[in-house]
Chains A and B, each alone.
Chain A
Amino acid sequence: MNALLQVDGLCVHYGAVEAVRGVDFSINEGEIVALLGANGAGKSSTLNAMVGLVPRSSGSVVFAGKDIAGKPTESIVRHGMTLTPEGRRVFGSLTTEENLLLGSLPLDNPAIDRSRNLERMYQLFPILSERRNQISGTLSGGQQQMLAIARSLMSSPRLLLLDEPSLGLAPQIVDTIFEQIVELRNAGITILLVEQNVAMSLDVADRGYIMASGTVVTQGTSKELSSSSVVEQAYLGHE
């Protein structure tokens, strides 16, 4: 079986600074794959380059059989891959429901699928239904994170990239978010999870890749990585 996503030799430069130096990984349909590593390892840059928010300097990103590297973000999300960005970044002056409606823009048949997806999101995240007319900037951090994920799901993506969904949230809320990630996978969505929270990520993920200094230093099943000392080293910054 071909992978749903195949990244080969992806490089990202910011001026003279090399943030991502030839990253390779793949994701199969139905998996949760964790991309782990310390701050500054190049995880977010990798995600942003995959969806075209930062330009890649070389490498290929093949999604569902098509090379999408170098395409504009708005056309990549229409292919079925989307990103829930780090820091949530909900449109704070818009209501919960307006945020969700915007998420449905990439749909092929918005007239048919928009209201169906909206109902599904309200079932998946009942708190958002209660807060549907609230200005999203006044939601709590956890609610904003749920909104950010739900907004991405409104486009019915095949692959969801989650950048630090637990960042800055209270431990209980983090538990809820991780439970929801598993539920999403059970609902058939493939997930690439970028996280600082290694233990919880390897708990929910099938496989993982560890990045350090802009490159993948090790990979394996979650079980293998949980018992590996490379993970600890990657976070402590040793090579």
Chain B
Amino acid sequence: MEGDFGIFVQQTVNAISLGGTYALLALGLAIIFSIMGMINFAHGELMTITGYTLMYCGLSGIPFYIAAPLAVMVAVGSAVLMERIAFRPVRGGSAASMLVTSFAVAIILQTLFQNLISTRSQAVILPDVFAQSVHFFGLSIGVNQILSITLTVTILIALNWFLRKTILGMAMRAAAEDFSVARLMGVRANAVIAGAFAISGALAGAAGVLWVAQRASVDPLMGFVPVLKAFIAAILGGLGSLTGAVAGGFALGFIEIYLAAYLPDNIQPYKEALALGAVIALLLVRPNGLIPAVTIGREKV
């Protein structure tokens, strides 16, 4: 298959792949927000930690198929520690104090990466197969993107199953809706919040692996832009709504990729502005997001 349609399919694959990464990140933000009422801006640093774990694993000759799950586990551990050390003491505080705390955590981690590792971008050794493409029906799709889409879909299905079919998942949905009553059901506040951070850490870790697999490098500020995008995606989807976060992530991925692919060259410099303009236009039509959370305005922990 050649020509316009071929390019369109290619760009659609790119959009699903990028949108999927945004969706994973936005979902991580949304899970924490739905339960604690906090936007965790240090979420991006979990991605960066994942990236550095991949880098060090590559340098020590650990194969990628071991390094990737290991890096995700490091992100999970870091997320749980982050909650225990930084966020638990301010739990129940104002939204502003929790927000500022998350900014502080993000900046402290960025500074540590800069001083202890390097201020520069570092190369990450990836398996050769990632750079290859698969050809079918005359299309060529990167192995990278196939893996990325497969992984994203698998994670979304697994998370959906966990939240709907397990008692712990139901407890998390209940806690997101009404924390006090969830406690009346015997839901332990510390356990459910630690669980939420573990899941958000796993999502950030998976997104980090996908991000690094596309770029083969890691730098101290790597997490900032994708998490900012994920935040926009979460707002677009409906802040605190998990389905909304996924929808918002994919929507933003599609907007960005299609603009980059189809805008005339002389307008390309404005593509970010146009993408955000499109988000604002969508929010004007649906102020609570594409799929609003059921708990808007309700009291959080």
| Pairwise interchain contact B170-A94, C-beta atoms closer than 8 A | yes
Interface: B43 (CB within 8 A): no
Stretch at the interface among B146-154, B182-190, B193-201: B182-190
B45 within 8 A of A: no
Q: Report if A185 contacts B (CB, 8 A).
A: no
B167 contacts across to A, CB distance below 8 A: 101-102, 105, 110
Question: Is residue A106 within 8 Å, beta carbon to beta carbon, of the partner chain?
Answer: yes
How distant is the Cα of A94 from the Cα of B163 in the complex, in angstroms? 11
Known contacts A74-B188, A102-B167, A85 near B181 by CB under 8 Å:
yes
Q: Are B186 and A91 in contact (CB under 8 A)?
A: no
In chain A, positions 104-139 with a C-beta closer than 8 Å to chain B are 105-106, 110, 137
| Among A82, A92, A152, contact of B294 (Cβ-Cβ < 8 Å) | A92
**Contact status B180-A53, CB under 8 Å:** yes
Q: Is A89 interfacial (CB-CB < 8 Å)?
A: yes
Bound complex: CA A34 to CA B174 (Å): 30
How near does chain B come to A4, taking the closest CB pair, in angstroms? 19
Q: Is the pair B184, A77 in contact by a Cβ cutoff of 8 Å? A: yes
For this complex, into which size category does the number of interface residues on chain B fall? 10 to 19
Contacts of B180 in A (CB 8 A): 53, 73, 85
A-B contact count (CB 8 A): 65
CB contacts under 8 Å to B, within A84-98, are: 85, 89, 91-94, 98
| Among A72, A105, A110, A137, residue most surrounded by chain B Cβ atoms (within 10 Å) | A105
A53–B184 alpha-carbon span in the complex (Å) = 8
- Interface size, chain A (Cβ < 8 Å): 26
Q: Which residues of B contact A85 (CB under 8 A)?
A: 180-181, 184
- By beta carbon, the residue of chain A nearest B169 is A98
Contact B178 A89 (CB under 8 A): yes
Contact residues in A for B184 (Cβ distance below 8 Å): 51, 53, 73, 77, 82-83, 85, 152
| Interface presence of B171 (CB below 8 A) | yes
Q: Which residues of A contact B183 (CB under 8 A)?
A: 53, 72-74, 77
In angstroms, how far is the closest chain A Cβ from the Cβ of B169?
10
Measured between beta carbons, the chain A residues less than 8 angstroms from B171 are 102, 105
Known: A91-B174, A101-B170. A106 touches B186 (CB 8 A): yes
Q: Are A103 and B294 in contact (CB under 8 A)?
A: no
List of A residues within 8 angstroms of B188 by Cβ: 74
| A21 proximal to B (CB < 8 A) | no
Name the residue on A nearest B165 (C-beta): A98
State the Cβ distance, A55 to closest chain B Cβ, in Å: 12
Nearest B residue to A107, CB-CB: B186
B170's partner among A51, A53, A92, A98 (CB-CB below 8 A) is A98
Of listed B170, B171, B184, residue having the most chain A CB within 10 A: B184
A83 to B183, CA, bound (A): 11
10 A-B contact pairs sorted by A residue (CB < 8 Å): A51-B184, A74-B183, A85-B180, A91-B177, A91-B178, A93-B177, A94-B174, A102-B167, A155-B185, A155-B186
Instruction: List 3 A-B pairs, minimum CB-CB distance, nearest first.
Output: A106-B186, A105-B186, A73-B183
Q: Which residues of A contact B (CB under 8 A)?
A: 51, 53, 72-74, 77-78, 82-83, 85, 89, 91-94, 98, 101-103, 105-106, 110, 137, 151-152, 155
Other 11 A-B pairs with CB < 8 A, given A85-B184, A94-B173: A51-B184, A72-B183, A73-B184, A85-B181, A89-B178, A91-B173, A91-B174, A94-B177, A102-B170, A105-B167, A105-B186
